[in-house]
Structure formats: C-alpha cells, structure tokens
Amino acid sequence: MENPATPSLRVRLACMLYEAMLLFGVLFIAGWLFSTMTQQRHALYLRGAMEIWLFVVLAVYFAWFWSHGGQTLAMKTWRIRLERAAGGPVGFWHAVLRYALAWMWFLPGLLAAWLVGAKGWMLVLIPGASAAIWAMLAFLDPQRQFLHDRIAGTRLVRLPLTLGKRKRAKAA
C-alpha cells in the first residue's frame, strides 16, 4: 500500500490557525447557550462549569468531524485528512482519545507557568515555547507526524488536488 504524503508543518499550522478562527464562532455560540441556560450574569459565576462545557463542546466538535470523514472544515480547505495509522477511518472514541492527547500542546507549558508563578508575558511565552517544542517533535518522527498522533495511532495525510482544482490553479 502506498504511503500518502504527510502535510508540511507550515500547512498544518496554517490549518490550525484557520480552525481557531472557525472555532471562535462555535465557542461563542456555546458560551452564549451556557450563559442563557444558566442565567449567568457575571463572567466568574459558574466559571469552572463553563470551562468544562466548552471543553466538551470542542471534544464533540472534533470527534464528530474526525470520525465522519476525517476532516473539519479547515482540514477540507487545506486538503488534510485524519486517518488511522494503518489507513482507514477513525472511530468516534479513537477521535476523542486524539483530542485529549492534543491538549499536550498546551498543558505542559501551562503547568510550567503555574509552577514558576509566571506573570504578564511569561504566561504567554512559557506555554508558547512548550507548543513550539511539541510542534518541533514532529521532525523526530520518521513520517513527520505529531507526537499525539503517534500515541493515538492516527496520522494526518495531505490529499491531492482534484482535477477541477488543478485546472483552476493552472488558469490562475
């Protein structure tokens, strides 16, 4: 079986940026629903419950799209698909596992910032450095997959241009 191409780190990070912009709307609506249903009148009222709610909303969002076609809207735009390491579709619970492991991009840096009592810009720099290190770990993998994909038994593949898209690309 032919091994499909792995998207470059630049393409994956661009896809993540686009995904973040799309998720702003998803989280805005989910936050509005939570605030309306709980009659939240102050941002700190039920803050922990809202954080859990938004975490679950994100988990359902990603698990649903990854287990139904392997692509979110951003991944479709950048022609990236998630599949099992051996090929084939990812199941719902397997997608939930990948989602949980993907939080390792941020959790070590947030924990380190908390442990050193970081304030101000250090609250951005420490988690940012942790995320950069996590991204660079892909260069240690022979197939250039992220560590959470390797652990979860999944992989990201770059889909080829379709014939119609090739014609449009040549015309432009």
pLDDT score, position 78: 95
d(C-alpha 94, C-alpha 110), whole Å: 25
The better pLDDT of the pair 75, 39 is held by: 75
Is the pLDDT at 149 greater than 90? The verdict is yes
CA 156 to each of CA 15, 52, 113, 144, 152: distance values in angstroms, whole numbers, following the listed order: 12, 27, 30, 9, 12
Residue 1: the pLDDT is: 46
Beta-strand ranges (E) seen in the chain are 80-84, 154-158
